[in-house]
Amino acid sequence: MYNFAAGPAVLPAEVIKQVQQELTSYQKSGMSILEISHRSSLFTDLQAAAENDLRRLMRIPTDYDVLFLQGGATLQFTMTALNLAKKSGKIAFVDTGHWSQRAIQEAKLLPKVVPEIIASGKENHFTAIPKVPKITADYDYVHLTVNNTIEGTMYHQLPAALNNQTIVADMSSIILGYDYQVTDFDLIYAGAQKNIGPAGLTVVILKHALLSGIPTLPAMLSYPKQVKKHSALNTPPVFAIYTAGLVFKWLLKQGGVSAMQQQNEIKAQLLYNEIANSSLYRSPVAVADRSLTNIPFVTGSDQLDAEFVADAQAAGLMNLKGHRLVGGMRASLYNAMPLAGVKRLVEFMQQFEMNHGG
């Protein structure tokens, strides 16, 4: 069976197996990972190793801090604005669809924060990444949703107009799947439950220099306080960090992020080619902006789409129903989806098309 869910999503089978094997006794301690103290060296060593491995994978420079927080990417919509809209209070947003809009809505709720949309894909129903105009106003930062999980678009390159801007990026659905340069960004955040590990962990990578001038905030919402306490102001999500650490080791064994990107390009191309060559399926997304990790497609008939999803599930191809905002189908091809899973999906698509007069 293959799981094409957008999140919580597929994890490497080897990692799940290792979790199972170690579950009753972590490193021969006689205690389960679910039971160990977050103040013990068992945990602090594990967290340090996870951070080091993530630094290696993403080539994170030493002048960036790495945080393992909770609250999901959604809390980062608030936390980024609360901490970083600290001078003019103005934040520039590129509106690329649902998750950018959620980030804008949350920023709007904060006093003294003024979100402004500098570019929007609304006119073409978010099927392409909009052109970003030259920035003239004095924004505290520009917010981008790097991969749009629902609409199936991504930035393959950062807009030239954003050179020299402070950039905050939501990378939830593509972190570790595409070899972005960390140094192109000032802050990166991602909910773990797609390409990193179980839900309950949120990774934040931020340039240390950003910490100066941040107002005093409640501890859990303050980047400076979280950095100072190494993400352990309160009890951290030990199991989620442990599992993420295993995924990082698995990724290093696979050859790291550039190897994952290559593999993800092969997988995505296989599916996009099938869509292009078929007379039944269609991708609504502009070719230049197509996501490697979330691929929506439609038949043009709601009834046929529903039949496709049901038949696919019966054939062991799970969670292919498109997001309710877009309809149709969506295949999420994260790092842990093997090429064999995409080949199975393509075979199924061909069979389904033949059965329906293709």
Residue 39 annotated as lining a ligand binding site? yes
CB-CB contact of 348 with 355 (8 Å): no
CA triplet 196, 264, 239: central angle to 5 degrees?
Answer: 10
Supply the minimum distance, in Å, between the C-beta of residue 6 and ligand PLP: 6
Q: Which is nearer to ligand PLP, 274 or 289 (CB)?
A: 289
Supply the minimum distance, in Å, between the C-beta of residue 173 and ligand PLP. Answer: 5
Active site residue 194: yes
Is 235 known as a binding-site position?
yes
Which residue of the set 53, 65, 95, 99 is catalytic? 99
What is the per-residue DSSP string for 225-294? HHHHTTT-SS---HHHHHHHHHHHHHHHHHTHHHHHHHHHHHHHHHHHHHHHH-SS-B--S-GGGB-SSE
Q: Is 223 exposed, middle or buried (0-12, 13-18, 19+ CB in 10 A)?
A: buried
Closer residue to ligand PLP in complex, CB, 83/172: 172
Counting Cβ atoms within 10 Å, is residue 163 exposed (0-12), middle (13-18) or buried (19+)? exposed
149 in a labelled binding site: yes
Q: Is 63 annotated as a binding residue?
A: no
Residue 62, marked binder: no
C-alpha to C-alpha distances, 245 to 21, 35, 47, 205, nearest whole angstrom = 16, 17, 8, 16
Minimum CB separation of residue 94 from ligand PLP in Å reads 13
Q: Which is nearer to ligand PLP, 74 or 313 (CB)?
A: 74
| Cis ω for the linkage preceding 8 (within 30 of 0) | yes
Virtual CA dihedral for 332, 333, 336, 341, nearest 10 degrees? Answer: 100
Q: Residue 295's closest CA among 263, 260, 271, 315?
A: 271
Q: Is 250 a catalytic residue?
A: no
Q: How far is the CB of 199 from ligand PLP (least distance, A)?
A: 7
284 vs 307, beta carbon nearer ligand PLP: 284
Q: Of the listed 53, 65, 170, 289, which one is catalytic?
A: 170
Note the residues at the interface with ligand PLP (CB under 6 A): 7, 72-74, 99, 145, 149, 170, 172-173, 191
Closest distance to ligand PLP from the beta carbon of 350 (Å): 29
Residue 250 annotated as binding site:
no
Could you tell me how far CA 68 lies from the centroid of its own chain? 15
Distance CA 255, CA 306 (A): 38
* Tokens matching residue 141: 């930062």
Rg, the chain, Cα only = 21
Q: How far is the CB of 169 from ligand PLP (least distance, A)?
A: 10
Residue with tokens 């951070």: 51
Token look-up 């230049």 returns 288
Task: Say which residue the tokens 């945990």 belong to.
Answer: 43
**Of 8 and 338, CB closest to ligand PLP:** 8
> Is 122 annotated in the active site?
no
73 is in an annotated binding site: yes
Q: Which of 65, 186, 194, 250 is catalytic?
A: 194
Q: Which is nearer to ligand PLP, 239 or 348 (CB)?
A: 239
Binding-site residue set for pyridoxal 5'-phosphate: 73-74, 99, 149, 170, 193, 234-235
Q: Residues annotated in the binding site for L-glutamate, as ranges?
A: 39
Residues with catalytic roles: 99, 170, 194
Q: Which residues are annotated as a binding site?
A: 39, 73-74, 99, 149, 170, 193, 234-235
